[in-house]
Amino acid sequence: MLELILPKTGIYEGDVTLIEWLVAEGGEVAIGDPLFLMESEKIEMEIESDTDGWLHREAEAGLEAPIGTRIGAIAETPDERAALCGN
Amino acid sequence: METATHPPAAPAAAQAGAAAQAAADTSGLDREVLLAGLEMMVRIRSFEDRVQREFARGEMPGFVHTYHGAEAVAAGVCAHLSEDDLITSTHRGHGHCIAKGCDLEAMVAELYGRETGLCAGRGGSMHIADFSRGMLGANAIVGGGIALATGAALAADTLGDGRVAVAFFGDGAANQGVLHESLNLAAIWRLPVVYVCENNGWAESTPAGYATSVVDVSSRAVAYGIVGVTVAGDDFEAVYTAACDAVYRARAGEGPTLLEAKVARIRGHYIGDPQQYRPRAERQEARRRDPVARLVEQLGTEAAPGRDAVASEIDAAFERGPRGAWPDPGTVERDVYAPAASQRAPVAAPPADREITFLEAVHEALRAAMAADDSVVVLGEDISGGGGLGGPHEGAMGGTFGATRGLLEAFGPQRVRDTPISEAGFVGAATGAALAGLRPVVDLMWASFAPLCFDQIFNQAAKMRYMFGGQTAVPLVLRMAVGAGLRAAGQHSDTLYTAFAGMPGLKVVAPSTPADAKGLLLRAIADDNPVVFLEHMGLYRTTGPVAAAPYEVALGAAACVRPGDDVSLVAVGECTLRALDAAEQLAGEGVSAEVIDVRSIAPLDAETICASVARTGRAVVVEESPRRCGLAAEIAAVISENTFAALSHPVARVTAANSPVPFSPPLEDAWLPTAADILSAVRAMA
């Protein structure tokens, strides 16, 4: 499992915003696939997956939070993803 | 990709026998070589993956460029280097550090800005260095390391110690002039250097296909008469083999190679780069050109050897590195200069035993320094003249003003090198040579030419000691002629005092007498810091008493050259003569003027200057640069801050006009500060 966080993407170190998820809960993703849109310093950018797996979302679009805040995870298997959901 | 060679490789039989043998030895590499290469590549990749992950969390300051996709280049090239060999690197330099053997924990600590980092937190990712491993620094100036590696090779060649230098750079640097100057220098001097272009197809957001006029950067080698080779940079075996040839060529005295490795930039320019400028298909294609995956597949191995050991090594580095202590804010000015404690006291001057000119004094200093220390070399344009012609022609020029005449005959062409007109190239090379064991004295002709090599002076020579946490000294002297009055006009007359003195890390000296010229130059050459030595053209023919034996005058010490009680004339360089002239005239009017010769602009001897002004209560600062933001403004501020209560009048400035130096004699005479201007300033204080 790879933890998903709101990442630092440059010199800016203030709060950032999760604009929109680009993959549904439980969706299968490959390395390089866009996962979510994030706004940092008024610039929107797509954050891509660093790994292959299944997405688990833990934060809602619109969340404004410090860099490093956990917003979800990429599970290695569908079962692991299901376990993350608690069902 | 096939390997391309520029010019086309000669048939094997026609190559130098040993070189052909070396190449033959690497065809069909031993599995052990490949496995060792893979382990290094995995170490680099794992480190960069971890950097990427940790950076995203937000606790690593600044920004970071990772080496993803080029692992085979650092691993394949550095496999041929010993700890003594020297490399220069780029803003994307972690891979070079690791392949050269840098300590991972100290690297991590540096990325987090900790005192325990390789550079004590002064450099960070883009200026990371480890001189104990021959890693002469990442460089945040694109192309900034190229001339430095050329100079490191110059040092190796001059000292004959068998070391090789490697300059790593990207395709963006392929279009920097300093690369071309350096290739030419290394070619004419057949230096033991390898230029490794990691062509990832992107200069930040600009594609190489747009910005570079040729497909293969290596084809530019043809223009310099050296070997150029292009290999697939994701193919460890190809890189290893080509680097073997290139390093062998360098070590064998066969000169430089331009080795281009075509790699894929698997990630963005920096971590977090959204890469909107980059087509998705091209990015997917880049991910497929993964050198680590390729070598794993080639070896048919499940896991890289030592993968677990590498993983725990990296875990340990990231566990401990970020917990290193922060630097003490009170040390912000530490390591700007090599400490005085590391240097012996100046050699005292014996009594002056004859009169010589300022120019002869400069020459005597150079000759004495070269005779006393084999590591002292001089280089510059036309310092000998007639290069390669021999007979009565070679050495006949002896410098624009004749200061270096006779040195070639006395010390030989290895230590007295005429340079092409390539200021960035040879000043950068001198800086690199200063990092690698020489004490170069560069003749830059005129200070007005310094802007051609400002990067080398400002970003490289001046900052290196500080950025690298005090790891290195930069014992370099840059001699330049300055000053107006000789009808040389706008581009041969600048003093640029504040341009140099405003750069922390540089020392700046401007003597006004033959005795000081000799003593200060000898001291400058003995100093472990870069010293800008400014010789006013109007002084070259002046004469004065000078001891024949070598001696030194301390840097950072002003001199009272005429005592007085009523006003302090604080003068710089040749203006000291005008101040003395004014003081003599003032004496006739019953005004006792003290004249302070500043001598050393950086560091400035505020104590001597302020002690004089505190006693006289009046100060006129006299110096030859345009008034706006000139040196006089700085000295006047220092005087005002320290002696305000003693001042009976505001500090006056006598300077040049706020214009470039004009040509026409009446205009140039009006531009210059004069004794009459000084008299007016003093009389206004009555």
Residue boundaries of the structural domains of chain A: 2-85
- B313 and B351 part of one domain: no
Half-sphere exposure of B195 (CA within 13 A, CB side): 39
- Chain B residues with CB under 8 Å of A66 CB are 58
The answer to whether residues B411 and B529 belong to one domain is yes
Over residues B559-574, the mean pLDDT reads: 98
Residue B281 within any structural domain of the chain? yes
Write down the number of H helices and E strands in chain A: 1, 8
Rounded Cα–Cα distance for residues B556 and B576 (Å): 17
**Chain A residues whose beta carbon lies within 8 Å of the beta carbon of residue B53:** 50
Q: Is residue B114 part of a domain?
A: yes
Is any Cβ of chain A less than 8 angstroms from the Cβ of B563? Answer: no
Q: Hey, are the CB atoms on A10 and B270 less than 8 Å from each other? A: yes
Domain with B573 in it: what CATH number?
Answer: 3.40.50.920
Average pLDDT over residues B124-140: 97
pLDDT band at A87 (very low <50, low <70, confident <90, very high): low
3-state secondary structure B81-109: CCCCCEEECCCCCHHHHHHCCCCHHHHHH
> For residue A43, what is the nearest residue in chain B, using CA coordinates?
B274
Residue of B nearest to A8 (CA): B56
Q: Above 90 in pLDDT, residue B390? A: no
pLDDT value at residue B341: 57
pLDDT for A2 beyond 70? yes
Contact A32 B284 (CB under 8 A): yes
Quote the minimal CA–CA distance from A57 to chain B in Å: 18
Question: Per-residue pLDDT tens for B246-274?
Answer: 999 999 999 999 999 999 999 999 998 88
For residue B428, with 0-12 CB atoms within 10 Å meaning exposed, 13-18 middle and 19 or more buried, which class applies?
buried
For residue B53, give the chain A residue with the closest CA: A7
**What value does the CA radius of gyration of chain A take, rounded to a whole number of Å?**
12
Chain B CB contacts of A48 under 8 Å are none
CA distance B323 to B326: 9
Angle of the B675-683 helix axis to the B575-588 helix axis, nearest 10: 50
Quick one: pLDDT band at residue B3, thresholds 50, 70, 90?
Answer: low
pLDDT confidence bin for B342, thresholds 50/70/90: low
Claim to verify: residue B315 and residue B419 sit in the same structural domain: no
More confident residue, B1 or B476: B476
The pLDDT assigned to A40 comes to 87
Range of weakest confidence among B21-35, B284-298, B563-577 = B21-35
Residue A5: its chain B contacts at CB < 8 A? 56-57
Q: What is the pLDDT of residues B198-227, one digit of tens each?
A: 999 999 999 999 999 999 999 999 999 999
* Residue corresponding to tokens 């005192």: B115
**Which of B517, B546, B575 is the endpoint of a domain?**
B546
Residues of A in contact with B287 (CB under 8 A): 31-32
Whole-angstrom Cα distance, residue B457 to residue B505?
Answer: 10
Interchain contact, A8 vs B55, CB within 8 Å? yes
User: Both B296 and B347 in a single domain?
Assistant: no
The predicted model gives B656-668 an average pLDDT of 97
Task: Answer whether residue B650 is part of any domain.
Answer: yes
Residue B419: phi and psi, rounded to 5, are -115, 155
Claim to verify: residue B100 and residue B15 sit in the same structural domain: yes
B357, B540 Cβ separation under 8 angstroms: yes
| Proportion of chain B above pLDDT 70, given as a percent | 95
pLDDT level of residue B303 (50, 70, 90 thresholds) = low
For residue B413, is the peptide bond before it cis, meaning its omega torsion is within 30 degrees of 0? no
Of the candidates B386, B413, B388, the one whose C-alpha atom is nearest the C-alpha of residue B398 is B386
Query: What pLDDT was estimated at residue B254?
Result: 97
pLDDT at B8 over 90: no
Q: Above 90 in pLDDT, residue B108?
A: yes
Give CA–CA dist B644/B637, Å, rounded: 10
- Most A CBs within 10 Å: which of B45, B51, B63, B204, as the mutation test of the A interface? B63
Mean pLDDT, to the nearest integer, of B519-543?
97
CB pairs under 8 A between A and B: 45
pLDDT, position A65 = 95
B505 and B599 inside one domain: no
CB B407 within 8 A of CB B378: yes
Q: Two tokens at A79?
A: 């079962």
Q: How far is A33 from chain B (nearest CA, A)?
A: 10
Question: Above 50 in pLDDT, residue B494?
Answer: yes
Instruction: Name the pLDDT band for B576 (thresholds 50, 70, 90).
Output: very high
Identify whether the C-beta of residue B25 lies closer than 8 Å to the C-beta of residue B248.
no
* pLDDT value at B510 more than 60: yes
Same domain, yes or no, for B384 and B527?
yes
Return d(Cα B25, Cα B9) in angstroms, integer: 18
Asked, for residue B110, whether it belongs to a domain, the answer is: yes
Round the average pLDDT of chain B to a whole number and report it.
94
> Using beta carbons and an 8 Å cutoff, which residues of A are at the interface with B?
5, 7-11, 13, 31-32, 43, 45-46, 50, 66-68
CA–CA min distance B171, chain A (Å): 23
Q: Are residues B533 and B610 in the same domain?
A: no
Check residue A86 and give its pLDDT.
76
Residues 277-306 of B with CB under 8 A from A: 283-284, 287
Residues of A in contact with B55 (CB under 8 A): 7-8
* Record: contact B274-A43, CB cut-off 8 A: yes
Which class would CATH give A2-85? Answer: mainly beta
Which residue numbers of B are catalytic?
A: 492
- Is B274 in the A-facing interface, judged by CB distances under 8 Å? yes
Report whether pLDDT(B437) > 80: yes
Check whether residue B404 and residue B383 sit in a common domain: yes
Asked if the structure places residue B331 within a domain, the reply is no
Report how far residue B350's alpha carbon sits from residue B540's, in angstroms, rounded to the nearest whole number: 23
Q: Which residue has the higher pLDDT, B540 or B10?
A: B540
Closest CA to B191 of B459, B473, B20, B436: B436
Among all residues of chain B, which has the CA nearest to that of A15?
B58
Q: At what angle do helices B146-159 and B423-435 cross, to 10 degrees?
A: 60
pLDDT score at B274: 85
Closest residue in A to B274 (Cα–Cα): A45
Of B62, B273, B274, the CB nearest to A11: B62
Which of B323, B352, B374 terminates a domain? The answer is B323
- pLDDT classification of B410: cutoffs 50, 70, 90: very high
Q: Give percent of chain A above pLDDT 90.
A: 72
Distance from CA of A13 to the nearest CA of B (A): 7
Q: For the domain that residue B380 is a member of, what is the CATH number?
A: 3.40.50.970
pLDDT per residue as tens digits for the range A4-58: 999 998 888 889 999 999 999 999 999 889 999 999 888 888 999 989 999 999 9
Q: Is B475 helix (H, G, I), strand (E, B) or coil?
A: coil
Residue B30 pLDDT grade (very low, low, confident, very high; cuts 50, 70, 90)? very high
The structure's pTM equals 0.93
Contact check, Cβ <8 Å, B272/A13: no
| Interface with A, mutate which of B49, B53, B277, B289 (most A CBs under 10 A) | B53
pLDDT beyond 60 at B638? yes
- Please indicate, yes or no, if residue B332 is contained in any of the structural domains: no
Considering the domain architecture, whether residues B501 and B404 belong to the same structural domain is answered as yes
Which pair of structure tokens corresponds to residue B378?
A: 């001089």
The verdict on B62 touching A (C-beta cutoff 8 Å) is: yes
Residue B616 lies in a domain: yes
Same domain, B427 and B511: yes
pLDDT at residue B377 above 50? yes
Helices and strands in chain B, H and E counts? 24, 22
Of the partner residues A8, A31, A43, the one whose CB lies closest to the CB of residue B58 = A8
Would you say residue B183 has pLDDT above 80? yes
Higher pLDDT, A64 or B7: A64
Task: Give me the pLDDT at residue B350, please.
Answer: 92
Nearest residue in chain B measured CA to CA from A46: B274
**How many Å apart are CA A36 and CA A71, to the nearest integer?**
10
Minimal Cβ distance to B283: which of A7, A32, A43: A32
Task: Please tell me the predicted confidence (pLDDT) of residue B10.
Answer: 44
- Return the pLDDT at B29: 87
d(CA B578, CA B363): 25
Query: Does residue B554 fall inside a structural domain?
Result: no
- The reply to whether B214 and B90 lie within a common domain is yes
Yes or no, beta carbons of B272 and A9 under 8 Å apart: yes
Residue A50 phi, psi dihedral angles, 5° rounding:
-90, 0
> Who contacts B559 (Cβ-Cβ below 8 Å, separation ≥6)?
B516, B596, B597, B599, B608
Looking at B176-235, list the stretches that DSSP marks H as alpha helix, in order from N- to C-terminal side: 177-189, 208-211
- The answer for B 118-137 residues in CB contact with A (under 8 A) is none
- Determine the Cα–Cα distance for residues A29 and A74; give it in Å rounded to an integer: 8
Confidence of residue B27 (pLDDT cuts 50, 70, 90): low
CB B200 within 8 A of CB B166: no
**Residue at which a domain ends, from B323, B350, B365:** B323
Report CB contact under 8 Å: B58, A43: no
User: pLDDT tens, B361-371?
Assistant: 999 999 999 99
* DSSP-H helix ranges across B212-306: 236-251, 280-288, 291-299
Check CB contact of B344 with chain A, cutoff 8 Å: no
Looking at chain A, which residue has its C-alpha nearest residue B57? A68
CB contact under 8 A, B58 and A67: yes
Q: Which of A10, A31, A46 sits opposite B63 (nearest CB)?
A: A10
Q: For the residues B355-360, what does the mean pLDDT come to? A: 98
- Which candidate from A45, A66, A67 shows the least CB-CB separation from B274? A45
Percentage of chain B surpassing pLDDT 90? 91
b (16+ CB within 10 A) / e for B269-278: bbbbbbbeeb
Domains: count for chain B = 3
Range of the domain at B405: 340-546
